Amino acid sequence: EGASNTVVKAWDVIGMIAEDGEHVRFLYGIAAQGPVELWLIKVEKSMRETLRKHMQEAVITVQKSMSKRENWIRSTIGQLLITSGQVAWTMECTKALQDPLKARKALKQLRNKWYRYLERLTVLIRGDLSSVDRLKLVALITIEVHARDVLEKMLKHGVTSTNEFQWTSQLRFYYDKSEGDYGECQVRQTTTTFAYGYEYQGNNGRLVVTPLTDRCYLTLTTALHLHLGGSPQGPAGTGKTETVKDLGKALGNFVIVFNCSDAMDYKSLATLYSGLAQTGAWGCFDEFNRILIEVLSV
């Protein structure tokens, strides 16, 4: 997942290519010369600056009009397409909940607006699209269906304020254009706030969000806020690992999945922890219970 290749021209790294074929050109090239650990840091910095610039453009475009979103879909990087769409949804919901006396009517209008938007997306996905655009649309529809479900849920529970738990418990995306050169995206849930990571993901699909997924997100973000870890439990094949990975995608962070076994010792675990700490990536330890208790106790 993420960038599977880089575009190198005359020993300059000028962009990224995702596994699905999506191209992202850097704002400026990076000379691939000297110690690799030094110029790779510059590549990572260029990646984040490029995504920040594209995010700024995507947020500006998506706010213009619901009826002109076809151009926004085709011109925006898949990852930022979803994130900027969630920024727009958060803004629309916040606006609808500004006046408690008119909130129910405003939410009904917004729900109907989202139904019409989803209808246009389903028409668009049946059209003649490139493979990259189709992957972008599939992921976008998955997230927008959940956005519609949240609107239905808020109407059902009679939400009339942005302070109510049914609203604050959702992953909410805010964009502050005054921060830095290209603005700053923040993700909030209940009282927790996270800076968007701007780690390039490519078009690797998104998870269908259920009420159980929402509760799992809520638990994990609270744990992160308290500098703790999370331990989703359940039968095999129910989506525990995918839920953690999808939360990482939502927050723009890279998630590294390790398949644990009883052959792991304290040295290999120390190496993994050291790498995660130095890169800032998330670690997802699959089958964590297989590690020997003697190793974990170290």
> pLDDT tens for residues 113-131?
999 999 999 999 998 888 9
Q: Is residue 259 part of a domain?
A: no
Number of domains the chain is built from:
1
Q: Is residue 102 part of a domain?
A: no
DSSP string, 90-125: HHHHHHHTSSTTTHHHHHHHHHHHHHHHHHHHHHHH
The CA distance from 82 to 52, in Å, is 14
Q: Is residue 15 part of a domain?
A: yes
Q: Is residue 250 part of a domain?
A: no
Q: Is residue 41 part of a domain?
A: yes
| Neighbour-count burial of 228, counting CB atoms closer than 10 A to its CB (0-12 exposed, 13-18 middle, 19+ buried) | exposed
Q: Is residue 215 part of a domain?
A: no
Q: Is residue 198 part of a domain?
A: no
Q: What is the pLDDT of residues 59-96, one digit of tens each?
A: 988 887 666 778 888 889 999 999 999 999 999 999 99
Query: In this structure, what token pair is assigned to residue 11?
Result: 């020993």
Q: What is the pLDDT of residues 7-58, one digit of tens each?
A: 656 688 889 999 888 999 999 889 888 888 899 999 999 999 999 999 999 9
Q: DSSP 3-state assignment of 156?
A: helix
Domain range for 25: 3-47
| Residue 292 in this model has a pLDDT that exceeds 90 | no
Q: Is residue 23 part of a domain?
A: yes
CB contact at 8 A, 224 and 256: no
CB contact at 8 A, 147 and 86: yes
